[in-house]
């Protein structure tokens, strides 16, 4: 595996039709005490059965938890702890993503697998999605979703099994960019991994491969701005068309999204990407708020970027790698696509993740 050198992406340029179909990992460009309160009543109202898209491990203990972010939104999480764990406090990981997914999908798989390797790991639903609170439903925000990561760090730092000075973050897909943004400002986090990342602010404002012109961007903002009047008059937001329906002729990465989110492989009824959609005006704040402005300020804490060699999104990690300060590493997985890093245990480099966090979250 190429684990150190920046490489050149050969991602194809998408036409306007494909851009308007931007789904799943990217929304259409057009269209201690109180903090550690587990909110038992809320937790009991959440799904108690094992409803993940991956098998339950007999090597970990799993608990449903809730916690609140700085905006007062109650977030729902799945906490995974090693079943055979010492009495001493452990290193911990907050895991989020992909964008439009729920904790029962990829982030839960990452969290459970890292718990098998000795970490306390928390996978959580973003504000306004899944079992987390917030109204209206299925809206995203670069500010609030960045805060969601820090709220997860709040929770972990107050947990009796966690050494609060040994907390890391994993962001998957669109939450890779959120993770980098959160860690830049949240100095409690000691190491960060972005796996198969998207920069959601970049793709929403500029399209894939920065292909949107100023004229197209202006037209999109005009339409979204006027949509606000319609939503305000109606008293509720309009939503984009359901994601990941295939009609034929889609780019391969859209087919890949469908094969994950709309088939038994990764389908989950609460996931935005599994046949639901974001609000029509969700792109507005993303189009005006670059996520990676302060990526250099993660240093001197380490950054690991992981991406598939054949991923259409690979250039996001390459750009982030170029912008980040040392210590940093870009790991390219030979032959892997974007979605391969969601759930394929023979592709996701869990040995690398374990060694990276083992080194940088050492006692």
Find all residues with CB under 8 Å of 256, minimum gap 6, and list them: 337, 338, 339
The 10s digit of each residue's pLDDT in 51-93 is 999 999 999 999 999 999 999 999 999 999 999 998 899 999 9
The more confidently predicted of residues 34 and 323 is 323
Structural fold of domain 16-360: Rossmann fold (3.40.50)
Tokens 């704040």 locate to 285
Find all residues with CB under 8 Å of 6, minimum gap 6, and list them: 318, 321, 322, 330
What is the rounded average pLDDT of the residues 112-129? 99
Cα dist from 130 to 101, 196, 232, whole Å:
8, 21, 24
d(CA 194, CA 200): 13
What is the rounded average pLDDT of the residues 245-250? 92
Q: Give the pLDDT score at 17.
A: 35
Token pair, residue 89, equals: 């406090």
The 10s digit of each residue's pLDDT in 129-168 is 999 999 999 999 999 999 999 999 999 999 999 999 999 9
d(CA 171, CA 192): 8
Q: Cβ(170)–Cβ(156) under 8 Å?
A: no
pLDDT above 60 for 39: no
79 forms beta bridges with: 63, 122
Q: Cβ(124)–Cβ(77) under 8 Å?
A: yes
Least confident of 20-34, 236-250, 343-357: 20-34
The mean pLDDT value of the chain amounts to 90
pLDDT above 80 for 28: no
The more confidently predicted of residues 34 and 198 is 198
pLDDT band at 225 (very low <50, low <70, confident <90, very high): very high
Find all residues with CB under 8 Å of 106, minimum gap 6, and list them: 97, 98, 172, 173, 266, 342, 343
Q: Cβ(93)–Cβ(119) under 8 Å?
A: yes
What is the rounded average pLDDT of the residues 116-136? 99
* Residue extents of the structural domains in the chain: 16-360
pLDDT band at 49 (very low <50, low <70, confident <90, very high): confident
pTM as predicted = 0.88
Which 3 state secondary structure label does DSSP give 171?
strand
Percentage of the chain beyond pLDDT 70 is 87
d(CA 16, CA 33): 51
Tokens 């990561």 locate to 149
What is the rounded average pLDDT of the residues 255-278? 97
What is the rounded average pLDDT of the residues 283-287? 97
């Amino acid at each position: 595996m190429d684990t150190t050198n920046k490489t050149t992406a050969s991602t194809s340029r998408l036409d306007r039709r494909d851009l308007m179909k931007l789904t799943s990992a990217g929304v259409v460009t057009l269209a201690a005490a109180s903090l550690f309160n587990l909110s038992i009543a809320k937790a009991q109202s959440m799904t108690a059965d094992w409803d993940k898209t991956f098998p339950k491990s007999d090597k970990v203990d799993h608990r449903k938890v809730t916690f609140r972010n700085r905006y007062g939104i109650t977030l729902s999480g799945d906490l995974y702890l090693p079943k055979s764990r010492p009495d001493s406090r452990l290193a911990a990981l907050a895991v989020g993503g992909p964008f439009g997914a729920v904790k029962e999908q990829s982030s839960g798989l990452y969290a459970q697998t890292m718990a098998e390797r000795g970490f306390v790991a928390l996978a959580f639903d973003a504000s306004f999605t899944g079992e987390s609170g917030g109204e209206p439903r299925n809206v995203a925000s670069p500010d609030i979703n960045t805060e969601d990561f820090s709220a997860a760090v709040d929770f972990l730092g107050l947990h009796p099994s966690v050494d609060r000075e040994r907390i890391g973050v994993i962001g998957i897909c669109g939450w890779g960019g959120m993770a980098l943004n959160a860690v830049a400002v949240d100095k409690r986090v000691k190491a960060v991994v972005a796996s198969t990342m998207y920069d959601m602010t970049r793709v929403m404002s500029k399209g894939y491969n920065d292909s949107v012109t100023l004229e197209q961007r202006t037209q999109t903002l005009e339409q979204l701005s006027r949509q606000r009047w319609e939503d305000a008059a109606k008293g509720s937001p309009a939503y984009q068309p359901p994601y990941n329906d295939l009609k034929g002729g889609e780019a391969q990465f859209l087919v890949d999204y469908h094969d994950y989110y709309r088939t038994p492989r990764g389908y989950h009824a609460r996931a935005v990407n599994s046949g639901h959609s974001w609000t029509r005006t969700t792109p507005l704040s993303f189009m005006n708020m670059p996520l990676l402005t302060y990526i250099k300020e993660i240093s001197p804490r380490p950054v690991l970027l992981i991406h598939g060699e054949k991923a259409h999104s690979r250039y996001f990690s390459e750009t982030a790698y170029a912008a980040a300060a040392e210590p940093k590493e870009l790991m390219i997985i030979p032959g892997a696509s974007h979605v391969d890093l969601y759930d394929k245990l023979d592709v996701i480099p869990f040995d690398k993740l374990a060694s990276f966090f083992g080194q940088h979250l050492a006692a």
